[in-house]
Amino acid sequence: MDANDDDRFADPYHVSSEEKETAKAEVSCRSQSHVQQTWFDAEVTLQESAIKKHQNRSVRREWTDGHAPAPTRFRWCP
């Protein structure tokens, strides 16, 4: 992940062979160490904890506590 901040790879108009090899190595490493699944599992744990902590709170109360008006209807994105 350090390659993301490496100044040698900052020019979007020049991609060196070193940068390509670094990218391949990083993808391989992420795949072997299951980074995506680890991040997903951590996010699920955090969200489930927040849901459990706030499961008895009413949505209406949260919307009417002075921060924003309560919605009268919900709009769904297409």
The pLDDT value given to residue 78: 46
Q: What percent of the chain has pLDDT over 90?
A: 36
The pLDDT value given to residue 2: 75
What is the C-alpha to C-alpha distance for residues 74 and 19, in angstroms, rounded to an integer?
Answer: 46
Domain boundaries, the chain: 2-63
Neighbours of 35 (CB within 10 A): 14
Its pTM stands at 0.50
What is the C-alpha to C-alpha distance for residues 42 and 38, in angstroms, rounded to an integer?
Answer: 6
